[in-house]
A and B are shown apart, each in its own frame.
Chain A
């Protein structure tokens, strides 16, 4: 229950409408959904009390079955029972890994690999959507209402296609994706590390079929992924396989088992493995279809020995990630354990001895990612008041500044780099020429001051600006970046309301290396950029003044200026115009000539002002003013 404070009479705040938001861990082996209730994140069980939903979908004769039942039927109907489809998300047939190829009938579908099933060719997106739909229904049944949105976790190394595929699956499942969150970040949030002291943390995630290590740096509540590494083909399943192979040898079977027996043996190995995390020894019994019986006692030390090479294999990517981040193991402030496989005692010991610190393991490693996602979803749905201790939404930053092109090929930065996202920033611009009715908006990304040195993201044109004198129109350009890094830019002329907008993905196609190079470039060239900026600004200012003076001379030059005065102004104007044409590179000279023109035309400008006031007042009595 939230804690209350005493309010002044009549001022007790009305409670806000709570919005139902969930976090979903869409895993390779298991998926689950969690939510925040009464300030605590908890995983939501199904009607039978199971929290983990096996990420297995069986396309049956008449119906689609998801989860435990589907997994149980895997042995009966292997080709139509799809597991580990996360490995295929956003992948083409050529990228699909060998294990998936051997288990299923994969086909080349447009955009992404397809899996042939009884119910037709299914894309990994559709299969994931079936899993997500099951979780959504579970959450809605248990929370008693429609969900406002969900945060779905993805591995930190997922590329754009894989993230997009995950989002598509969620949409297909009827979920509103509040954002995609990196799994290691979610785990760190679950442990409240975002509220902890700044520092560097490691997330060791040994799941069912994949191993990921992420090095995160926390600064002012923002997690930055410093390095990720892993082994996409290392997980609890391999431990099962090693044990199953050993069991097979113990039973004296050397020939290949039928598919069904193989699956049964694997299920047995998994059960034995899980038992051995709690107690020192377990009994493995199995009836094979050919009538042979297996009955072996497995001790924890045997299992540790059998799988020591797997644990060692997981430590290699860890060292690599540390090296990539330029860090020593002793610089890691804490290690978060994620994934059911980290329950195995020898995994814990290995991690502890590598980092020299006991890993964080007091939260259930199967749930930790979903719990973190739920906490994030709660914030994004607006269920936490700002100002509370949990005002920690700020988790991601845009890596490079975003801006637009202004006159003279200069960049006006609207969203500075390292701004936390989501964000929205607006700036007002105006027209440059009299009667200008359109404005081209060129969106660029980068740290340099000159457009040609930045990366062009998008262009669009705002048309239909009412004709006004230069500088009178007010055009508000708004940059909005949503939590997934999707940028939308809109321009709106304030008096007429005409509007145009464009959506871009700012990070698309920019690798970390490219981002780093663009940053370095910007630092090294700051002085040149500043000088260029000054020159271009001087040129733009000079041209603006020439245009304005020209227009004024054409309109009022004959009536308001004596011929000698006119010659003085025109001379200054020509001098400046000539300077721009011939000697473009000298900021100082251009400024001096601009000032000169300003000075000689100052009197003219004052007379024009008087004349226009006279015109405005002519024929009107004092009372009507």
Chain B
């Protein structure tokens, strides 16, 4: 069981957490909606819940609820720049298919 972030992502997460002024870590989750079945959610976390699993990677705390974990296991969170856009990308070995809009995936 592991979830990691790239150095680039870690730097960006740390920067936004600093700017925000508070935050325990980053919550990664999957939601069962969207066109291809699942969609990622990426949120700040101000506290951890008792059932959360917490991963530490490059100095960043990543919180995942146990129901999301099977879908996210092995995921590497990256921060990339694509043209004018920049943002986070889930490199998820579990994802088999993506929907057209790229917001959701299937396992």
Q: A interface vs B, CB < 8 Å?
A: 1-12, 14-18, 20, 35-39, 143, 378, 383, 388-389
Choose from A11, A383, A389 the contact partner of B101 (Cβ within 8 Å): A383
In the complex, which residues of chain B have a beta carbon less than 8 angstroms from the beta carbon of A5? 42, 87-88
Contact A15 B33 (CB under 8 A): yes
* Chain B min CB distance to A600 (Å): 67
How distant is the Cα of A213 from the Cα of B5 in the complex, in angstroms? 51
Choose from A1, A7, A388 the contact partner of B42 (Cβ within 8 Å): A7
In the complex, which residues of chain B have a beta carbon less than 8 angstroms from the beta carbon of A388? 85
How distant is the Cα of A8 from the Cα of B41 in the complex, in angstroms? 11
Q: Is the interface of A mostly helix, strand, loop or mixed?
A: loop
B54 sits at the interface (CB 8 A) = no
Choose from A6, A9, A18 the contact partner of B35 (Cβ within 8 Å): A18
How distant is the Cα of A430 from the Cα of B51 in the complex, in angstroms? 63
Contact B103 A2 (CB under 8 A): yes
B67 sits at the interface (CB 8 A) = no
Choose from B33, B85, B102 the contact partner of A38 (Cβ within 8 Å): B102
In the complex, which residues of chain B have a beta carbon less than 8 angstroms from the beta carbon of A15? 31, 33-35, 39, 101, 103-104
A interface footprint on B1-20 (CB within 8 Å = 1, 0 otherwise): 00000000000010010000
Contact (A6, B16) CB under 8 Å given A12-B41, A15-B35, A18-B35 = yes
In the complex, which residues of chain A have a beta carbon less than 8 angstroms from the beta carbon of B13? 6
Contact A36 B89 (CB under 8 A): no
Contact A143 B100 (CB under 8 A): yes
B64 sits at the interface (CB 8 A) = no
In the complex, which residues of chain B have a beta carbon less than 8 angstroms from the beta carbon of A3? 80, 82, 85-89
Choose from A4, A17, A389 the contact partner of B88 (Cβ within 8 Å): A4
Choose from B43, B90, B100, B102 the contact partner of A8 (Cβ within 8 Å): B43
Contact (A18, B100) CB under 8 Å given A6-B43, A6-B44, A12-B42 = yes
Contact B31 A9 (CB under 8 A): no
Q: List 11 A-B contacts (CB under 8 A).
A: A3-B89, A4-B87, A5-B42, A6-B13, A9-B44, A12-B29, A14-B39, A16-B34, A18-B34, A37-B98, A39-B102
How distant is the Cα of A541 from the Cα of B78 in the complex, in angstroms? 68
B83 sits at the interface (CB 8 A) = yes
Given contacts A4-B40, A12-B43, A143-B100, 7 further A-B contacts (CB under 8 A): A1-B98, A3-B85, A6-B13, A7-B44, A10-B43, A15-B33, A378-B100
Contact (A38, B83) CB under 8 Å given A8-B44, A15-B35 = no
How distant is the Cα of A528 from the Cα of B26 in the complex, in angstroms? 67
Choose from A9, A16, A143 the contact partner of B43 (Cβ within 8 Å): A9
In the complex, which residues of chain B have a beta carbon less than 8 angstroms from the beta carbon of A35? 100
* Chain B min CB distance to A266 (Å): 39
Contact A14 B101 (CB under 8 A): no
A interface footprint on B62-91 (CB within 8 Å = 1, 0 otherwise): 000000000000000000101111111110
How distant is the Cα of A614 from the Cα of B44 in the complex, in angstroms? 64
Choose from A4, A7, A18 the contact partner of B99 (Cβ within 8 Å): A18
How distant is the Cα of A404 from the Cα of B26 in the complex, in angstroms? 57
How distant is the Cα of A39 from the Cα of B88 in the complex, in angstroms? 15
How distant is the Cα of A1 from the Cα of B92 in the complex, in angstroms? 11
B46 sits at the interface (CB 8 A) = yes
For A12, A20, A36, which residue has the most chain B Cβ atoms within 10 angstroms? Answer: A12
Contact B101 A16 (CB under 8 A): yes
In the complex, which residues of chain B have a beta carbon less than 8 angstroms from the beta carbon of A9? 27, 43-46
Choose from B16, B41, B45, B101 the contact partner of A2 (Cβ within 8 Å): B101
Contact B83 A389 (CB under 8 A): yes
Contact B26 A6 (CB under 8 A): yes
Contact B100 A6 (CB under 8 A): no
In the complex, which residues of chain B have a beta carbon less than 8 angstroms from the beta carbon of A16? 34, 101, 103
Look across to chain B and name the residue whose beta carbon is closest to the beta carbon of A143. B100
Look across to chain B and name the residue whose beta carbon is closest to the beta carbon of A14. B33
How distant is the Cα of A15 from the Cα of B101 in the complex, in angstroms? 9
Look across to chain B and name the residue whose beta carbon is closest to the beta carbon of A9. B43
Contact A38 B88 (CB under 8 A): no
For B33, B34, B98, B101, which residue has the most chain A Cβ atoms within 10 angstroms? Answer: B101
* Chain B min CB distance to A390 (Å): 10
